[in-house]
Structure 1
Amino acid sequence: MRYSLLDRSHTRERRPEAAALRDSVERAVAAEPLGYHRFWVAEHHGVPGIASGSPPVLLAAIGQRTERIRLGSGGVMLPNHRPLVVAEQFLMLEALAPGRVDLGIGRSLGFTAPVREALGRARITADEFADEVARVRAHLEGEAPVTARPAGGSPPPIHLLATGSGLRTAARLGLAVVIGGPVLLGEDLGERIAAYRREFRPHAGSVPHVMLSMDLLVAGTDAEARELALPEVWAMVRSRETGAFPPLESPASIRERALGSRERDRLEAGLDASWAGSASTLRPRLESLVETTGADEILASGATFDRAALADSDARVAALLG
Structure 2
Amino acid sequence: MVAFLIVFLTSLLTLTTLPAAESRLYSNYYQKSCPRFNQIVQDTVTNKQITSPTTAAATLRLFFHDCLHNGCDASILVSSTPFNKAERDADINLSLPGDAFDVVVRAKTALELACPNTVSCADILAVATRDLVTMMGGPYYNVPLGRRDGRVSKASAVEGTLPRPAMPVSQLIQVFGSRGFSVQEMVALSGAHTIGFAHCSEFSSAIYNYSKSEQYDPQYNPRFAAGLQQACADYHKNPTMSVFNDVMTPNKFDNVYFQNLPKGLGLLKSDHALFNDPRTRPFVELYAKDQNTFFQAFARAMEKLGVHGIQTGRRGEIRHRCDEFN
Interval containing the TM-score (normalised by the shorter chain): under 0.3
Per residue, is there more helix in 1 or in 2? 2
Q: Looking at both structures, which has the greater relative contact order when contacts are Cα pairs under 8 Å and sequence separation is at least 6?
A: 2
Per residue, is there more strand in 1 or in 2? 1
TM-score of the superposition, structure 1-length normalised? 0.23
Larger Rg: 2
